[in-house]
């Protein structure tokens, strides 16, 4: 889709810190993370919501999400993760995306108020490399 930023990332036309690159899916760091290491998993095919995801892609999508949830623990030292997706309401980009957010006890995240943070120069590349290493281990 021409005006979709996630399609542009998938096509390589927009920059992103890629964490996972598979035939059906791509995962990259959120540019405005809830916590550093916050990953977005998207299908390569433009679909807007979870109900739009072809049944043939469901298992692979969830398997990738599982691996990412493990990677934020093993690669970043998080104690766990928060995994979520919006469908239409609060969906900032109309392309299906699943959030995998690293969590630690006492991190201050409460309910659905998601304060956003910024990466220092070069820091996002370091986080992406740590996650890629955990995924390939």
CATH classification code of 5-106+115-136: 3.30.428.10
Query: pLDDT tens digits, residue range 26-58?
Result: 999 999 999 999 999 999 999 999 999 999 999
- 36, 127 Cβ separation under 8 angstroms: yes
Could you tell me the residue ranges of all domains in the chain?
5-106+115-136
Q: What's the predicted TM-score (pTM) here?
A: 0.85
Collect all residues with Cβ–Cβ distance below 8 Å to 8 and sequence separation of at least 6.
Answer: 14
Query: What are the angstrom distances between the C-alpha of 38 and each of 1, 55, 74, 103, 131?
Result: 24, 26, 14, 10, 10
- Total residues belonging to the chain: 137
pLDDT 10s digits, 77-99: 999 999 999 999 888 899 999 99
């Amino acid at each position: 889709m021409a005006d979709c930023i996630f399609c542009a990332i998938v096509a390589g036309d927009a920059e992103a810190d890629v964490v996972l690159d598979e035939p059906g899916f791509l995962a990259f760091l959120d540019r405005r993370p809830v916590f550093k290491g916050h990953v977005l998993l998207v299908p390569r095919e433009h679909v807007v919501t979870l109900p739009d995801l072809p049944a043939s892609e469901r298992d692979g999508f969830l398997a990738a999400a599982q691996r990412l949830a493990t990677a934020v623990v093993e690669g970043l030292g998080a104690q766990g993760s928060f995994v979520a997706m919006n469908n239409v309401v609060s969906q900032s980009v109309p392309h299906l995306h699943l959030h995998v957010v690293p969590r630690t006890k006492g991190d201050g995240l409460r309910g659905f108020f998601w304060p956003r943070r910024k990466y220092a120069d070069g820091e996002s590349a370091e986080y992406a490399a740590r996650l890629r290493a955990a995924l390939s281990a």
